Amino acid sequence: MISTGLKIAFRGFLRNRFFTTFNLLSLVGGLFVAFVAIGYIGFENSYDEFHENSENIYRVGWTYRSQDYSILGFENGADDKQLNVVTGLKKIPGVENVAQFITSDNLEFIEWGDKRVQEKGFLTTNTPLEFASLFTWSPLMGSFTDFGKDFNKVLLTKSTAFKIFGGVMNNSSEIIGQVINIGQENYKVAAVIEDVPMNSHFDFTLALSNPRIDYWGSRVYMGVADNISYDEVELRMNQAMAKINPSVVKDPLYKEHFLQPLEDIHLKSNILYELKTPGNYSFIYLIGGFAVFILIITLFNYANFTLAIKSKQGKSIGIKKAMGAKSFAVARQFILEGVLLALLAVPILALLLALIVPSFNSLMGVNLSASLWQNPQTFFLIVGLAIVLGVLASIAPALFLSTKNALSLFNQKLKDNRFEHFSIRKYLVVSQFVILISITSVSYFVIQQMDFIENKDVGYKKKGCYMRIRHPKNRIFFKNVLDKFLG
């Protein structure tokens, strides 16, 4: 029964090549938009989830001058004071681990033997053991334990290690333990890891362990026990802050410290000194809504053309019914053909993804898979979506044609058939145009707003902007500074 239905379906596809091709292209386009939307939304919501126990890791921030900061300042920058906050936070009940670090985008030379390369994206921590145990990185060679044992160790990412060591990348004995020079200081290679995933809220090309952080503050993260809520830890932290950092608490401009769940930083945090540009729920809603609209247009288009094709087959349907075919059997054949055509769009979609997704990743700064088969969950979701589209698009012709008796199918010109008050096909076409006009109008409005913001005159004029400085040497100094930063 099914094999016969498949043969009939394929004969119908070949007989109506134009409609079949157009429907296939429409389905591929709709499923492509759905795949990209699913992938983008999933990627934006997956930030930092690759860390083990990521749900129990929090970033410590603080509020000062009515501003929220992601960096905690050191008291006078003294070496012992740099670890005061870490030591104090570790003593809070419920806190299991505390690490601090800074990152820098300054270019530095890395020297190994006669080789000299330039790199940026350095991470420096004076809590290397805690850093290696709190965060989860994919090791290629070496040991995280070795990185945390002592200072002046370096943790290399794969791409940076390849720049330095090149052809010996497959031999860990020729890399681990090697001494490289960075910024006039020697560091021993402790481990090599995979490059930091794109869905991490902070990046680095290599991590250095130093007894001192040469900066005015650091980024502090803590691991919290499973059996305690972070609200309770946050309360205890603020109560203990008078002892941990008394000079800050006494400042009248200081308000409080707070915890941010690691998995929420990308989408729910936009405070000062963020390490990456935060995500935006508006983009998620926009892309998700756009995908829904495109799928609705695809559905209406598919249903419209399916109804047009089947309306031309009135006599063949009438013959089937005259020979004893039941309405259910006719409707089932319509649905089978609709689902089959939708499933044929899936392998074509797989080829399209390999061509277009890399460009989308470059444009949006994401890392979506260009393979439909790589993620089984997404694959089955797309296949399920194709089946739903096929079924829904076939319902209209199935209900409209299968319920008619054989005599009416022979006597009426079904392609001109209309309901008493409206035409199904006209309704579908008008609905498509309404959705398209709505999307176009919204897109035009968004583009105009973005163009307005980019080209708005904020009142600053480089020419004619002067600062009154009396001393000639100071004038020359500030002139050079302004020329450097203002071009």
In three-state secondary structure terms, 96 is strand
Chain-wide mean pLDDT for the chain?
Answer: 82
pLDDT digits (tens, 9 = 90+) for 148-197: 988 999 999 999 999 999 877 777 878 999 999 998 899 999 999 999 99
pLDDT digits (tens, 9 = 90+) for 350-396: 999 989 998 888 877 788 888 888 888 999 999 999 999 999 888 87
pLDDT band at residue 461 using 50, 70 and 90 as cut-offs = low
pLDDT digits (tens, 9 = 90+) for 305-339: 777 776 666 556 665 655 655 666 767 778 888 88
pLDDT at 263 over 60: yes
Give, as one character, the DSSP assignment of residue 379.
H
Contact call for residues 157 and 196 (beta carbons, < 8 A): yes
Dist CA 153 CA 211 (whole Å): 11
pLDDT digits (tens, 9 = 90+) for 34-92: 999 999 999 999 999 999 999 999 999 999 988 999 999 887 655 566 788 899 999 99
pLDDT digits (tens, 9 = 90+) for 437-452: 665 666 666 666 656 6
Contacts of 341 (CB under 8 A, 6+ apart): 9, 13, 20, 23, 24, 27, 390
pLDDT digits (tens, 9 = 90+) for 85-127: 899 999 999 999 999 999 999 999 999 988 999 999 999 999 9
C-beta contacts of 8-11 below 8 A and 24+ residues apart? 8/333, 8/337, 9/333, 9/336, 9/337, 9/340, 9/341
Q: What pLDDT, on a 0 to 100 scale, did the predictor assign at position 374?
A: 86
Q: What pLDDT, on a 0 to 100 scale, did the predictor assign at position 100?
A: 96
Dist CA 428 CA 329 (whole Å): 26
pLDDT at 256 over 90: yes
User: Could you state, in order of their start, the residue ranges of all structural domains in the chain?
Assistant: 2-47+280-449, 66-252
pLDDT at 467 over 50: no
Q: What pLDDT, on a 0 to 100 scale, did the predictor assign at position 431?
A: 58
Q: What pLDDT, on a 0 to 100 scale, did the predictor assign at position 422?
A: 41
pLDDT band at residue 298 using 50, 70 and 90 as cut-offs = confident
Contact call for residues 410 and 315 (beta carbons, < 8 A): yes
In three-state secondary structure terms, 134 is helix
The highest-confidence range among 77-81, 284-288, 410-414, by mean pLDDT, is: 284-288
Q: What pLDDT, on a 0 to 100 scale, did the predictor assign at position 415?
A: 47
Provide the percentage of residues in the chain whose pLDDT is more than 90: 43
pLDDT at 482 over 80: no
pLDDT at 132 over 60: yes
Sequence-ordered alpha helix ranges (H) in 187-325? 230-244, 246-249, 265-268, 281-311, 314-322
Q: What pLDDT, on a 0 to 100 scale, did the predictor assign at position 318?
A: 60
pLDDT digits (tens, 9 = 90+) for 266-276: 999 989 999 99
Dist CA 342 CA 344 (whole Å): 5
| Residue found by looking up tokens 């105009």 in the block | 448
Residue 229 CA neighbour count, 13 Å, CB half: 3
H or E segment and range at residue 381: helix 376-402
Contact call for residues 127 and 98 (beta carbons, < 8 A): yes
pLDDT band at residue 472 using 50, 70 and 90 as cut-offs = very low
